[in-house]
Amino acid sequence: MYKLLLVHNIVNLTILFLPLQNRELCQFVNVNLEVSIQKASWGSRTQWVQLAGHEGSVISNGRGSVLKQYSAHEARCLRELQSDRLSSYVPTYQGDVVLDGKCYIQMCDLLFNLASPSVMDCKMGQRTYVEDEVCQNADGLCLRPDLYIKMMEIDPLAPTAEEHFVRAVTKLRYMQWRESITSTTDYGFRIEAIKKSDDAAQRSFKQCRSWTQIRHLFMDFVRSDRLVVERYLSELIRLREALSSSEFFRQHELIGSSLLFAHDSLGSVHVWMIDFGKTIRLPRDVLIDHRTKWFLGNHEDGYLVGVDNLILLFRELLRATSDQALCYKNIV
């Protein structure tokens, strides 16, 4: 890597002193060296990549930046968010990059400065599919044998008698069912993945639905550490306040977006908003409150339902860890 940079600098100096007829060849060499340097810079994986399940679509340069496969929706959202009230809760947008003929969004690596972090990805909202995926003008109400098979693989008792007869379900039915077996429908968020500092990433939460299950997983994630719980609670309360005054949040439905929870061994605690590939600007005549129940056409996403319930959850965890600390003090 450093040898390439040295040669690159030498070539730049050489061009200045060459006759005009020889400069074209040297400039060609210089361009190819720049490409080689760029390739050498990118390639390592990060815990963020491993956790969020973006293998193959996100790469890191190991120096504080990541490249994520280009999405016009996400690039626009990140650009707008840099000057919004929510700017401190999203990755810093560093521009668009072409590498090996593919276009990427370059952004900061949120976990780069954390020491052995524990990380959790929570998918937010009571709906994680866009309306176009299930509207009557698309294929949302067409019978899909492939989705019936997927449903059967997870729960053979889930299809109705009619669905068993035709051996197919609509996409709308499948998507609503998939969300009903997690905490998405009831609580406005679901756990996608957990990576504790000393453990492998876990993603087997497809049927984690009950409050008791969720509370247990979060308590395990923070290792019953009251200080970590307090800081997460403060972060979530501040985030909710920022959302309430955000122009971006007022103008968009956030679908398939996540909150990334991260804390490390040095006491850093963070909550970030990530994944804006399905975040869509609302029609001008549509206002949503992010809490009203969704029906086809109203664009509600239930995002604040999830934030409200996460705050409620961490308040419960705070009481529980405080009780544990008091009990320990009395024993001692």
Residue by residue, DSSP assigns 271-293 as EEEE--TT-EEPPTT----S-SP
- Name the residue range of residue 292's domain: 69-94+107-126+188-332
Say if residue 30's pLDDT is above 90: no
Confidence grade of residue 4 (pLDDT, cut at 50, 70, 90): very low
Q: Are residues 76 and 58 in the same domain?
A: no
Each residue's pLDDT tens digit, 278-290: 999 999 999 999 9
What's the whole-model pTM score? 0.82
Other Cβ atoms within 10 Å of 82 Cβ, number: 13
Q: Are residues 40 and 121 in the same domain?
A: no
Mean pLDDT lowest among 11-15, 100-104, 313-317, 326-330: 11-15
Q: Are residues 144 and 277 in the same domain?
A: no
Domains held by the chain: number: 3
Q: Are residues 38 and 52 in the same domain?
A: yes
Say if residue 122's pLDDT is above 50: yes
Closest-CA residue to 243 (of 289, 297, 210, 294): 289
Tell me what pLDDT residue 161 has: 97
| % pLDDT > 70, the chain | 78
Q: Among 186, 201, 225, where does a domain finish?
A: 186
- As a whole number, mean pLDDT of residues 11-18 equals 43
Can you tell me whether residue 38 is helix, strand or coil?
A: helix
